Amino acid sequence: MQKLRVLDLFSGIGGFSLGLERTGGFETVAFCEIEPFPRRVLAKHWPDTPIHRDVRELRGEDVGPVDVICGGYPCQPFSTAGKRQGQADDRHLWPEFMRLVAELRPAWVIGENVAGHISMGLDDVLSDLEGSGYACRTFVIPACAVGAQHRRDRVWTVAHASATGLHFGELH
């Protein structure tokens, strides 16, 4: 079985890639993380995988073909714990995520963010993806659903390239 090639954006210490790779069906071909400490952790656990520093400087040609782009793009623009400045916040990096989706055209896109994103910015994410030919679904999964002792809702967006306009229930 050929593994799906993953570009992991806003990688942190590699949680997305760790989970995807443990299924046996995915291989991370590149990370993008700006913070030094997580970059060191990534380098230790994935010594042969390139780690790009800044999503604003990363280009599709730097990575090559991928099947999946995943990432938890910065939540500060949408979080109820912050000022909720949305697009006015200089940490609003969804456009950079979407730019890479447009450049690389992966079959799958997986995004994660805070629950505050539902009332601010999520419509833009879905519009961007759907306008580029992706069928999208969103899910709210609380941390307690996977054993944590707190709720901490997270919004997940899963999108599949659908040149024919099919919806998830119609995909084979």
Is residue 75 part of the annotated active site? The answer reads yes
Q: What is the pLDDT of residue 81?
A: 80
Q: Could you report the per-residue pLDDT of 94-144, keeping only the tens digit for each?
A: 999 999 999 999 999 999 998 888 888 999 999 999 999 999 999 999 989
* Whole-prediction pTM: 0.91
Cβ atoms of 16 and 38 closer than 8 Å: no
* 120 contact partners, CB below 8 Å, separation of at least 6: 77, 78, 84, 86
Q: Torsions phi, psi of 66, nearest 5?
A: -135, 155
Active-site residue, from 32, 70, 75, 136: 75
Cβ atoms of 102 and 111 closer than 8 Å: no
Q: Using the 8-state DSSP alphabet, how is residue 104 labeled?
A: H
Q: Could you report the per-residue pLDDT of 61-102, keeping only the tens digit for each?
A: 999 999 999 999 978 877 778 777 767 778 779 999 999 999
Residue predicted with more confidence, 143 or 50: 50
